[in-house]
Amino acid sequence: MGVAAKLPGPARRVAVRSTRGIVRALGLKGRSELAFWTDVWDRSIRDGNLWGERALELSGDDSIAEDYVGRRWQQARAEVNRVLEEASIDDRNYFDGKVVVDIGPGCVGFPDACPAKRSFGVDPLAEAYREAGLLLESEAVYLDVPAEDIPLLSGTVDVVVCRNSLDHVDRPTTVLSEIHRLLRTGGELILNVDLDHPASPTEPHEISRESLRSWLADFEILREQEWDHGHAGSDQPGHAIVIVAQKPL
């Protein structure tokens, strides 16, 4: 009898077999997150759409691709341009030659389309996403670990992107310490956070701008911008903040 067969009912239904030959059961947070990507996000793209505001324009194309993989790459390019635009970075070559780490990339493909020297995605669901066929094939390296403990050397990363994921992690302040550790001196953090929304299974933290600023005490904030933004892509009112911060020289 395999390990999965010994698990209790609800967990057994969501057991994920990884290429490492182990069976992992996702908790409620992981199951809810994965269900969003498979049942909502990916389904929409399979149905012929792109996801999110102005995705086609941000992809740089004139029309939505006919095939699924084409739409996935359009979406991925759109997310790279979205990150730059939200951070008011006009230099389209900003990522060139850099080591870039994306915290909580989900399946949107930022690490895949990012034109960096090396591009990493850090997400504890990375293996589950890959198993579900949700990751693009690219030279990006996905690490199937929580961002509270990232197996990369200190001071080796030029840019960390953390978009719509700080409220999803288990320990936001530990993640910010880990980002600080990874960044080289003068390296930059592009942080985008949905503020003040009620906690949910996938977003266990309600984050205010005041707590965010205090958590960034070890960084130098270069600029920040806040705007109204429907929470989680929905009609619920909400607002988001983008902070570009630097590990001080």
The residues of the shown chain that bind ligand SAM, judged by CB under 6 A, are 33, 103-106, 108, 122-125, 146-148, 163-165, 168-170
Closest CA to 33 of 102, 110, 126, 111: 126
- Report yes or no: 124 and 103 within 8 Å, Cβ to Cβ: no
Nearer CB in complex with ligand SAM: 33/249: 33
Nearer CB in complex with ligand SAM: 98/231: 231
DSSP 234: S
Nearer CB in complex with ligand SAM: 53/170: 170
Nearer CB in complex with ligand SAM: 105/187: 105
CB of 2 to ligand SAM, least distance (A): 26
CB of 136 to ligand SAM, least distance (A): 14
Closest residue to ligand SAM, judged by C-beta, is 104
CB of 20 to ligand SAM, least distance (A): 18
Closest CA to 165 of 132, 207, 136, 134: 207
CB of 83 to ligand SAM, least distance (A): 8
Q: Which residue has the tokens 């290429």?
A: 19
Strands 23-25 and 15-17: antiparallel
The angle subtended at Cα 196 by Cα 193 and Cα 201, nearest 5°, is 80
